[in-house]
Structure 1
Amino acid sequence: MKLNLTGLLLLITFISFAQKKLTISDIYEKELFKEETIKSLNWMNDGQYYTALEDNKILRYDVTSGKSDSVIIDGQALNLKIDDYSFTTDESKLLILTDKQKIYRRSFTAVYYIYTFEGKELQKLSSKGRQSYATISPDNKNVAFVRDNNLYFVKLSNMSEHQVTSDGKLGSIINGSTDWVYEEELYITKAFFWSPNSEKLAFYRFDETAVKEYNLQYWDNGALYPRDYRYKYPKAGEENSTVTIKVYNLKDNTTQTVDLGKETDIYIPNIQWTKNSDILAIKRLNRLQNQQDIFHYSTKFKSATNILTDKSKTYIHATYTDEWIYLDNGTHFLMSSEREGYKHFYIHRMDGQLEYKATSGAYNAEKLIALDQRSKTPVLYYTSTENGSTERHVYQVDFKGKGKIQLSTKPGVNTADMSKDFKYYVSYNSSATSPKEVSLIMTKGNKLVKVLKDNAKLKETIAEYGLTEKIMFEIEAADKKLLNAYMIRPANMDSTKKYPLLLYQYSGPGKQRIKNDWYGDKHFMWHQLLAQKGIIVVGIDCRGTGGKSEEFKKMTYMKMGKMEAEDQVATAKYLGTLPFVDQDRIGIWGWSYGGYISTLALETGPEVFKAGIAVSPFLWKYYDTIYSERYLRRPQDNPEGYNEYSIVRNAGKLRSKYLLIHGTGDDNVHFQNAIALQNELINQGKQFQSFYYPDKDHSLTGTKTKMHLYSMMTNFLLENL
């Protein structure tokens, strides 16, 4: 085990400067360190303007100056709180989302309005109840939405409302939206799609009748009796919803059901229309999630053809390779895949045959930004890890993989938002040494037009509080592979003293927390506060995390937790040998998967850690089908994988000071997980601390909750490290 010491030698240098003391209130109540950015950016059709939502106003900006020249909509004047908005394709109308109310992590209901610029008319989309996921048709004549598990559309010509489905029922049938596990693990909430000619609506139908219920109990701030909330949650190895795809024809009010074969124990991670309004494309993923098939369904002949199959020896993470676009030429489609060991973009003919590799090499083409299809050889804009796994840079390349140009010039994490005519883009950059900078760039020549947000005020606040640099470095894993890490150290370090150290990690498969960016995660400022209180904080991405090769990410398959915990223990052991670290005062903490790994590391490395915190840790067998089975298969297929690295099974090994935290209203990682762990710790005679937040979900949201949570965790560490 060794460390790349570049930059870390600064740690043993005595530094002296004034430093204003951070408080929990500064971070989570006053939000003094919140970055400025541009939200809800929409490029206008002419390419000369874009709009953005600021202070409840939709402002129009001139790209030649980067300055706002008009107010498109003033929410206050309309007596509306605008949460989001979208234009019709001809920009004659605006769909405004207001009063957004969360259901789960991504799902919501809202109240929508249509604003017509001619006549300045504001109309409620529907007065018959709240709606979800309202979407304008390509011809700008209709808006579809979901209400109470049924699909509807409104004709904008007369604002008449039409019902597409009628069998929707809570806990049974869902039309046009998704069940809990699809929302959480496949990131789908809106599950309906307009055909290019606006004459058809393709949509998902979930039959979750066979899925077992989970019962959440809410105390509702002191109600006389607690409130039960039951919803369908498929745990590992249990029954899933039966999912079918249907196509509704607006012209004759008929509905087709797509036949994808006899096997119904499958997932459908994506559907979309090709450029042909008679051909619907569908991705089908098997239950083991190691084979993905693409089907083309003909609404004319009512038949589906399998045109492409992707297979993996481990798993296919459908949401990590979800770029899938049918090109304007009608003869090709673009898709992303990890089939060659890294994520890359491929161009296929409509019959599924590979035509071009747009990107290739020992790096990940991580995110598709835009496609310029105006020429015979279209251009792809994307971000990648070609400059290193902690960096993200913006590139352009043609579909044949030729003419690659790096557009981003500043080190760190970069992304972009391209104008519709590709003449300009808005650049977003941050690094470990600088918060986010938002700039308007002319694509030709890559020329800066204007810095839109420089976060100058935030930089002044950072200097005032004397925040220390997030130093990036690499450290060896237990098997000698290099892991990405960062260190936040106390200012004014005394080279003659040893300091306590806290390891932070998430460790979840394919996730990456260690990047050359400013915040990186929501805990960054709290880590700065701990550094001010004399604790060194080290963040680490262990084996199985993202940003590197498919092999690095998937080596934990079927034995989740083993390598992740080994790497945390090995890292702590090595850091304990450094001259400025007190090896007897090392701690670890994490949230969700990080809570699981921090607990397992405490159990499997009791001689290394003095204390640890786990927020909302989970047990594989209690978690959902898609997630648990993707990495471990079903419990009946891999009982050892579920049991050997269970934090309940290893509870008897715990010797460190331990704080267990959970929300009782957690619909994701159920409170049941904490109860099972606590029961076993009690059975094993282990003393520990626990705290449960009434009615709070997995994120433990709310200012007062955050204030209490981070104050409690700070005090625990100061008392036990």
Structure 2
Amino acid sequence: MKILRILSLFCFLASTFLTAQNKEFTLDEIWSGTFRTEGLEALHSMNNGQQYSVLNFDRASGATTIDIYDYKTLEKVKTLVSSKDLDLKYFSDYTFSKDENKILLAFEEEAIFRRSSLGKYVVYDVSDKSVHSVANYKIQEPTFSPDGKKVAYGYQNNLYVKNLESNDVTQLTFDGEKNKVINGITDWVYEEEFGFVRAFDWNADSNKIAFIRFDESDVPEFSMDVYGKDLYQTQTVFKYPKAGERNAVVSLHLFDLDKNKLEEVKVNKTYNDFYIPRIKWSHDANMLSAIYMNRHQNQLDLWMIDASQNEAYLVVEEKDKAYIDITDNLTFLKDKTFIWTSEKDGYNHVYHYSKKGKLINQITKGNWEVTEYYGYDSASDRIFYQSVENGSINRDVYSIKLNGTQKRRLTQNEGTNNADFSANFTYFINTFSSATTPYLYTLNDASTGKVLKTIKDNSDLKETLKAYTISEKEFSTISVNGNDLNMWMIKPANFDANKQYPLFMFQYSGPGSQQVANKWHSANDYWYQMLAQQGYIIACVDGRGTGLKGADFKKVTQNELGKFEVEDQIEAAKLLGARTYVDSSRMGIWGWSYGGFMSSNALFKGNDVFKMAIAVAPVTSWRFYDSIYTERYMTTPQENASGYDNNSPINHVDKLKGDFLLIHGTGDDNVHVQNTMRMVEALVQANKQFEWMIYPDKNHGIYGGNTRLHLYTKMTNFINRTLGDKL
């Protein structure tokens, strides 16, 4: 009996140990934050180049602090300010003045659209620890003047400046009106597609502000019902220019605070319908730069404007057979030359120009892309950048002399490296991750790249994950339609090549995008691990039109979105289905947004290949989507009707054979639920059965409360019902 009890205890412990090493992922864990990674929030390098600040949040007390750390020791030097010491429960963001003597603290922020928000702000004076309110109402984009004595901000579509010494407020514009005129803050489509909200900028002397004015009076309105919890629903109405419709009329203006004078700036461009996607002052207080683009976005002009004379001259003119991407990489040097990035040689690279726009030299060269420009260090005469030179699924940090010599790779770990440099380019904090390594934050020497110290390594997450069965994310290429396409695949951990498994594909495929990247997991990756544990193979293929393989590969889809990308997904599925371990009768595909457009098309056009598809928040016709994004790749519907209609899934519903799940949020200001409603009506009239799910008042991200858990439960159940019948 004693021996039996010992054996029983041993078996119990062994069983417990094995179970602990083979935990299965659950949706509850994935969406409750179990696998959350640690990071450095709102990292800011201090002017001295020896310290950096971070926004920290105490979950127990709910208080926030701005803490200063030493680069060399990584030790906390001091807490600069804590919300506990202020009459604030917490603050959510911070911005230093140029001299770092004052800090703008944001609180009570509320989102407007994807990047914009309203909030209350106070100015904290570091020297005397005093706190001063910027305004007693919620404002947008408050920004210190370079001398730190003023704050400019947007309020109810007008621009204001507060003098922090006198507390006087000057209103710069008076014609702002909702859904008519906006001054200094971007409209919906600029915010979404050009990626910025603050459309004003201070000059170096803090006495002039340049801003873009949006007259959206003639832009058609879009409305969304907000159901909420009251007896009657309300309605959100905003200007949304769909493809081929009228855009806001934009103009560039200068306000001289010394003269209290407002004037419009005009340049001698060759097109009438245009965008102004960037403005930026140079080091010269009278020299303003502005980028203008024609509506097709295949001509980009960089203008320099002398504010003292209100005169403009063209310094860079670029044209492309397809389109030109907008970046924030324009950098003015002290000698008035400037650095610029362009893909005019077929790949995105760094260029050096004289102040008049004469090309001095192309700094980086090769059949690879520069993916991030970090800055220029005048002391060492070096440029710092990130690129995919070490393979298009990887990112590394490099330095190079301004003349294009002495290039040096500063990161060594294979995966995704991203740098945050100290103000004097002595150090950089590198964020590294790969498919097998969660985010690792290290302090590196900027001259050699040498790792000096580890800051965070997400060791707690790594320890948590030891208990789970994790399948390898296998990277490879697959030859599809004459191209070697990047692919990842996740197989069940107990994979047996002699068995057959259902295949579930994921893709996005939008122009210039990338899903096959050697980096750490998103929440979806844990979901894929869960599906692999249940017996599925998951795969992702980046087809033609995706990014980081050169302009020709990216722009092949021009004027025909949904043609070549869909052909590549269908052909890739056929090739994978031919593998002995894939059950070709049980293959599905899913995607979100552009990916939902793609998965719908793949199921309809590839009805003999895919058994099922899930489309979340899909575009169903490019006629429903916004002007800037859609026309960049398709021109207008008036010019390219067949391009719009031939590859929109709404026009191919008659081909549906398999199982289709359609999902959308009614509060989606980006891809309107109109897309799904029109798809539903087309499916009904074609007498095609399908499933769908509507999430009331949820935006394009479909989240909040238990929403994501419900969504992924819905999708998992659908997958199991349509592909998992033999598992």
TM-score by length of 1: 0.95
1:402 aligns with 2:405: yes
Query: Distance between the aligned counterparts of 1:446 and 1:669, measured in 2?
Result: 43
Query: Equivalent residue for 1:12?
Result: none
* Residue of 365, 368, 374 corresponding to 1:369: 374
TM-aligned CA deviation for residue 312 of structure 1 = 0.1
Runs of 4+ displaced beyond 4 Å = none
Deviations 1:317-343 (A, max 9, x none): 22xx4311111222x111111100000
| Alpha carbons 2:43, 2:54 under 8 Å: kept | yes
* Residue of 227, 231, 235 corresponding to 1:228: 235
* Residue of 91, 94, 115 corresponding to 1:85: 94
Query: Distance between the aligned counterparts of 2:494 and 2:676, measured in 1?
Result: 40
Query: Equivalent residue for 1:244?
Result: 251
1:105 aligns with 2:111: no
| Alpha carbons 1:565, 1:600 under 8 Å: kept | yes
Query: Equivalent residue for 1:615?
Result: 616
Deviations 1:632-674 (A, max 9, x none): 1000111110010010111100111000000011100011100
| Alpha carbons 1:65, 1:449 under 8 Å: kept | no
| Alpha carbons 2:180, 2:216 under 8 Å: kept | yes
**What aligned pairs does 1:242-321 form with structure 2 within 5 A after superposition?**
242-261=249-268, 263-318=271-326, 321=327
Alignment partner of 1:578: what SS?
Answer: coil
Query: Distance between the aligned counterparts of 1:16 and 1:385, measured in 2?
Result: 41
Root-mean-square deviation (Å): 1.4
Query: Distance between the aligned counterparts of 1:464 and 1:162, measured in 2?
Result: 61
| Alpha carbons 1:243, 1:264 under 8 Å: kept | no
Alignment partner of 2:438: what SS?
Answer: strand
Q: What amino acid is aligned across from residue 615 of structure 1 in structure 2?
A: V
TM-aligned CA deviation for residue 308 of structure 1 = 1.8
Query: Equivalent residue for 1:452?
Result: 455
Alignment partner of 2:439: what SS?
Answer: strand
Q: Which moved more, 1:87-96 or 1:361-370?
A: 87-96
Q: Which moved more, 1:71-80 or 1:89-98?
A: 71-80
TM-aligned CA deviation for residue 445 of structure 1 = 3.5
Query: Equivalent residue for 1:515?
Result: 517
TM-aligned CA deviation for residue 454 of structure 1 = 0.3
Query: Equivalent residue for 2:640?
Result: 638
Query: Distance between the aligned counterparts of 2:464 and 2:705, measured in 1?
Result: 21
Deviations 1:540-590 (A, max 9, x none): 111100111100000011111011111111111111111221111110000
Deviations 1:157-211 (A, max 9, x none): 1322221111110000000101110000001201110001111000010000000
Q: Which moved more, 1:485-494 or 1:704-713?
A: 485-494
TM-aligned CA deviation for residue 522 of structure 1 = 4.2
* Residue of 466, 471, 480 corresponding to 2:474: 471
Q: Which runs of 5+ in 1 are unaligned?
A: 1-14
Query: Equivalent residue for 1:172?
Result: 180
**Larger RCO (CA within 8 A; separation ≥ 6):** 1
1:95 aligns with 2:100: no
Query: Distance between the aligned counterparts of 2:172 and 2:255, measured in 1?
Result: 7
1:323 aligns with 2:329: yes
| Alpha carbons 2:247, 2:627 under 8 Å: kept | yes
Q: What amino acid is aligned across from residue 394 of structure 1 in structure 2?
A: V
1:573 aligns with 2:574: yes
Query: Equivalent residue for 1:534?
Result: 535
1:219 aligns with 2:227: yes
* Residue of 358, 364, 384 corresponding to 1:353: 358
Query: Distance between the aligned counterparts of 2:715 and 2:633, measured in 1?
Result: 31
Q: What amino acid is aligned across from residue 85 of structure 1 in structure 2?
A: Y
TM-aligned CA deviation for residue 18 of structure 1 = 3.7
1:437 aligns with 2:440: yes
Alignment partner of 2:467: what SS?
Answer: helix
Query: Equivalent residue for 1:139?
Result: 147
Query: Equivalent residue for 1:338?
Result: 343
Alignment partner of 1:465: what SS?
Answer: coil
1:417 aligns with 2:435: no
TM-aligned CA deviation for residue 220 of structure 1 = 0.8
Q: What amino acid is aligned across from residue 267 of structure 2 in structure 1?
A: L
TM-aligned CA deviation for residue 267 of structure 1 = 0.5
Q: What amino acid is aligned across from residue 250 of structure 1 in structure 2?
A: L
**What aligned pairs does 1:151-230 form with structure 2 within 5 A after superposition?**
151-221=159-229, 223-230=230-237
Query: Distance between the aligned counterparts of 2:340 and 2:648, measured in 1?
Result: 37
Q: What amino acid is aligned across from residue 599 of structure 1 in structure 2?
A: S
Query: Equivalent residue for 1:692?
Result: 694
Query: Equivalent residue for 2:11?
Result: none
* Residue of 57, 69, 76 corresponding to 1:68: 76
* Residue of 645, 649, 652 corresponding to 1:650: 652
Query: Distance between the aligned counterparts of 1:548 and 1:357, measured in 2?
Result: 19
Query: Distance between the aligned counterparts of 1:460 and 1:627, measured in 2?
Result: 43
* Residue of 119, 144, 150 corresponding to 2:128: 119
| Alpha carbons 2:410, 2:448 under 8 Å: kept | no
Q: What amino acid is aligned across from residue 555 of structure 1 in structure 2?
A: V
Structure 1 residues 522 and 269: CA distance shift in structure 2, 3 A = farther
Q: What amino acid is aligned across from residue 533 of structure 2 in structure 1?
A: Q
Deviations 1:13-34 (A, max 9, x none): xx999421211110112x1111
Query: Equivalent residue for 2:714?
Result: 712
Query: Distance between the aligned counterparts of 2:272 and 2:188, measured in 1?
Result: 18
TM-aligned CA deviation for residue 76 of structure 1 = 3.0
| Alpha carbons 2:21, 2:466 under 8 Å: kept | no
Q: Which moved more, 1:73-82 or 1:190-199?
A: 73-82
Query: Distance between the aligned counterparts of 2:247 and 2:84, measured in 1?
Result: 45
Query: Equivalent residue for 1:8?
Result: none
Query: Equivalent residue for 1:10?
Result: none
TM-aligned CA deviation for residue 447 of structure 1 = 2.8
Q: Which moved more, 1:622-631 or 1:299-308?
A: 299-308
TM-aligned CA deviation for residue 297 of structure 1 = 1.5
Structure 1 residues 568 and 497: CA distance shift in structure 2, 3 A = same
Alignment partner of 1:288: what SS?
Answer: coil
Structure 1 residues 522 and 158: CA distance shift in structure 2, 3 A = farther
| Alpha carbons 2:80, 2:126 under 8 Å: kept | no
| Alpha carbons 2:409, 2:449 under 8 Å: kept | no
Alignment partner of 2:505: what SS?
Answer: strand
Alignment partner of 2:530: what SS?
Answer: helix
TM-score by length of 2: 0.94
| Alpha carbons 2:20, 2:467 under 8 Å: kept | no
Alignment partner of 1:445: what SS?
Answer: coil
| Alpha carbons 1:322, 1:336 under 8 Å: kept | no
Alignment partner of 2:322: what SS?
Answer: coil
Query: Distance between the aligned counterparts of 1:540 and 1:473, measured in 2?
Result: 10
| Alpha carbons 1:16, 1:492 under 8 Å: kept | no
Percent identity over paired residues: 40
TM-aligned CA deviation for residue 711 of structure 1 = 0.5
Deviations 1:258-290 (A, max 9, x none): 112474410111111122211211110001110
Query: Distance between the aligned counterparts of 1:530 and 1:345, measured in 2?
Result: 42
Alignment partner of 2:85: what SS?
Answer: coil
